[in-house]
A = this chain, B = another copy of it.
Amino acid sequence: MPKYDEMSKILIRNIFLNNHTTDILIEGNRISLISDNIQARDAQILDGTGMAVIPGFANMHTHAAMTMMRGSQEDARLHKWLGEIWKMETRLDDELVYWGTKLACVEMIKTGTTFFNDQYFYVDSAVKAASEMGLRGAHSYVMLDLGDKEKMLRQRELCQKAYEESMNWNPQNIFEVGVHSPYTVSQENILWACSFARDHNLKVHIHVAETSQELQDSLKEHGCTPVQYLKDLGVLSKDIVAAHCIWLDNNDIDTLGLNGINVVHNINSNLKLSSGYKFKFQELEDAGANVCLGTDGVASSNNLDMMETMKTTALVQKAWRKDPTAIPLAQLISSATFNGYKAYGLDGGRICEGALADLCLIDIDNYSFTPNINFEANLVYSAHSDCIKTVICDGKIVMKDRYIEGEAEILSQVRKLYGKIVG
């Protein structure tokens, strides 16, 4: 049995789960028992009356510290947008990433995310922020060299440095290798990064086939699609977490499926930047890929809300497929919870005995859940994230009754600092 804070115990009483009211016992960082009338005299009690329990969300693609740029680039064309973002990113430093990530954690906790997959700069500061806030995360330094030889070597050093620093991270934070994309990272560095990842048993987090432009450029430069290019490099495996994958042909879908790729769909970002929206959710799952959901960074999607992401994902799938039965509720909710944890080999994102205690208590005594004929439908299509009252991550309470320790200071620091990057 694991030693964990001398086995702290939390007992959630009278909570709604699977159309039934029950108790849940958390011991250490795992759910140890789900049963009616659990006795646990030494446990901290949470009263679940009028509430339901759901797994914490897994936000499988974001750039957390971009909260610093919220609302700075609106109604803008992609090239102008990207140019401004890259300009702002040159001004980043440890302090900005630390407080930007803190704000992202506040937002993710308030909206029920317990596990997030981050790709950004000054990773050690991001992890310091995430650790202090109590969230679970996978983190990568983003490699981006645009074929520049000097940058290529520097990027490898920075990746290695981040890996070394990760030895000091708490176990809730996983190091992974970050490759920006097949079109912004040289072939040599993609190969180096994926080989480094294999040697150290790490995941690789990469943007793939996000825009039509990327597809066209790849066809021109490599004579094949971005997915085919990565396949030909021999780097595709179940250790790849590929964000976007909007512009796929049938071969690409088969390739991603056969290799068990974790594909992250970021609907709000794709819609807002007009990148494309006909994501092949069902086809990818049928082929064998693990489809997860993400928000992307706040600079593109403006918030980090996975409940909103679930709803928009399903609505848009139903619309462009002209099929209102597309992506039923259970499949949708799995993609926002369980599938993300599965991508990293973690038993979380579900409420059952033995699973990681990453979960949310949500208020169902309100208009969004009245009547409560179909709880999952109310959760996805009727409610918003303000129904989330208490969040437990890794067996510890990170928000109680919407109170997060230190929140006011975080807001105040971001307001003081954002002017340093936003011109």
Contacts and interface: CB of A to CB of B under 8 A. Distances in A.
A171 interface: no
A46 to B, nearest CB: 22
A76 B378 CA distance: 15
A384 to B, nearest CB: 5
A56 B342 CA distance: 44
Interface stretch (A8-16, A137-145, A226-234, A297-305): A297-305
A167 interface: no
B371 A328 contact: no
| Residue among A74, A103, A320, A407 with most chain B CB within 10 A | A74
A319 B270 contact: yes
Contact of A71 (B67, B302, B322, B374): B374
A321 B274 contact: yes
Contacts of A411: 365-367, 370
A72 interface: yes
B72 A374 contact: yes
A381 interface: yes
Interface stretch (A150-158, A180-188, A196-204, A310-318): A310-318
A164 to B, nearest CB: 33
Contact of A319 (B74, B274, B381, B385): B274
A223 interface: no
Interface stretch (A27-35, A393-401, A414-422): A414-422
A110 interface: yes
A20 to B, nearest CB: 17
A149 to B, nearest CB: 34
A70 B271 contact: no
A350 to B, nearest CB: 21
B381 A71 contact: yes
A64 interface: no
Contacts of A382: 70-71, 298, 302-303
A407 B367 CA distance: 9
A411 B103 CA distance: 35
Contact of A77 (B71, B324, B378, B386): B324
Contacts of A326: 75, 274
A277 interface: yes
A272 B315 contact: yes
Interface in A58-82: 67-68, 70-72, 74-78, 81
A89 interface: no
Contacts of A355: none
B384 A74 contact: no
Interface in A230-257: none
Interface in A126-151: none
Contacts of A422: 371, 373
A71 B378 CA distance: 6
A377 interface: yes
23 contacts: A67-B370, A70-B382, A71-B371, A71-B382, A72-B373, A74-B374, A77-B324, A106-B367, A110-B367, A273-B318, A273-B324, A274-B323, A277-B319, A298-B382, A301-B381, A303-B368, A303-B381, A303-B383, A308-B384, A312-B315, A367-B407, A371-B414, A373-B418
